[in-house]
Amino acid sequence: MKRLLTSLLFLTLLLLHGCGGGSSSDTSTTTTFTLDEKEFVHTLFLTEYLWYDQVTPTIDYDQYTTPQALVTALRVDPPDQWSFTMTAEEYENYVNQTTAGFGFGYTSDDFIIYLVRIDAPAWGKLQRGDKIIALDGTAVTYDLLHEASQNLGTPTTFTLDRNGTDINVTVTPEEYTFKVTQGSVVEHNGLNIGYLRYDSFTSTSVEEIENAFTLFKNNNINELVIDLRYNGGGSVAVASLLLDNITNQYPGKQQCYLDWNANYQQNNESYYFETADEEDGNELAMQRVFFLVTKDSASASELVISALKPYLGDANVITIGDYTHGKNVGMQGRIYNTDYYFLINFYVKNSAGEITSFDGIPPVCTAEDDLTHLRGDENETMLQTALFYIDNGNCP
């Protein structure tokens, strides 16, 4: 069975490395990786792949026992570090924002939590900045944490260092559906600042986005800060919708352009700002936008930033944090039996014909990812830097 999947721009589904139950795009396996499937993958690389003319024309298929091993061997690296494969179940879980485990991400060297998925079992119990010391009285290790996350339905007591105080918190890993969007309004020096945490451009997040922008519209926000620091990308169509909500001042104008290889120019596609009769009433007319970004901000995140620049101007699209990832390409996706293949198919260009550098989008203001404060806290370094810029017109 072979069919076309939707156009996607994402870095990886491994963004929450160590989140305790997240799916893994780099460990996809198949019970029987047949010769027919291997030939199918190789043909995709020789035809639809963006750098098809640099792909090895003949290979020894017997060397490769898993789909990912073959994809890794065939992709042109550099620049391609992104083409990958995953199972149908992993893909469906991704698009439906469904997984199992605790639902948090932590730093691999010192077990400090940097993100808790919204509505995951850990949500409201563990928090950003917590340092994991022990699980059920045993000193934490990666293996111990991974095992606990897989033991669904069994409570685990976390011993945490939270702001210098040791506390115990019990969390039960479960199957769960999570959200990727959280909007709030920060009152700052007489201004209403819209703050949007957005973690992934999933198709199921559309209603979440709409609700956030309805909140912003109802509160007549003066400035908008979009937190993409861990957003590795997702659907191009959802990125287009986010752009529609940010500004309704350019109806019918081109947002971005997907440019395939020379043999597949018929697949090229443009996305446009919605027209006035397509609006649903919660669109803003922002003249300036702040983006909080890191090296984990990729693909569709970079698309949104790049797409705004020809309209708002470079001076009004302000990135705060670090260089973004530098993924200026995307994939449409193919499926063979139960394996999904996401090979790079096209460049992503804005309306000025520009693409993001492979080095990423540089920050206007450099700021650290401050794990000592919650996201959305005015004292968190990235948001604090955005607020300083709003007050003073320059970086701290």
Question: What is the tens place of the pLDDT at every residue in 220-244?
Answer: 999 999 999 999 999 999 999 999 9
**Domain match, 152 and 241 both:** no
* C-alpha closest to that of 74 among 107, 41, 37: 41
Residue 206 and residue 241: Cα distance in Å, rounded?
A: 8
Q: Which two tokens stand for residue 160?
A: 């945490």
Distance of CA 61 to the CA centre of its chain: 33
Domain span including residue 140: 110-177
**Domain match, 224 and 370 both:** yes
- Main-chain phi, psi angles of 155, to 5 degrees: -65, 145
Residue 219 sits in a domain whose CATH number is: 3.90.226.10
**Domain match, 151 and 273 both:** no
Residue 2's pLDDT band (cuts 50, 70, 90): very low
- Per the rule left: phi > 0, alpha: psi between -120 and 50, beta: everything else, 351 is alpha
- Coil, strand or helix at 214: helix
* Range with the poorest average pLDDT among 86-90, 100-104, 161-165, 170-174: 86-90
**Domain match, 187 and 271 both:** yes
173-218 pLDDT, tens digit each: 999 999 999 999 999 999 999 999 999 999 899 999 999 999 999 9
**Domain match, 271 and 369 both:** yes
pTM for the complete prediction?
0.92
**Domain match, 47 and 127 both:** no
Report yes or no on 227 lying in a domain.
Answer: yes
Residue 299 and residue 8: Cα distance in Å, rounded?
A: 9
Beta bridge partners of 142: none
**Domain match, 171 and 190 both:** no
∠ CA(182), CA(374), CA(370), 5° rounding? 120
Report yes or no on 102 lying in a domain.
Answer: no
Report yes or no on 76 lying in a domain.
Answer: yes
Other beta carbons within 10 Å of 99: 22
- Written as one string, the DSSP assignment of 341-371 is EE-EEEEEEETTS----TT-PPPSEE----T
The pLDDT of residue 340 is above 90: yes
**Domain match, 142 and 205 both:** no
**Domain match, 171 and 189 both:** no
**Domain match, 79 and 158 both:** no
**Domain match, 161 and 248 both:** no
In the chain, the number of structural domains is 3
Q: Which two tokens stand for residue 223?
A: 């400035």
**Domain match, 228 and 362 both:** yes
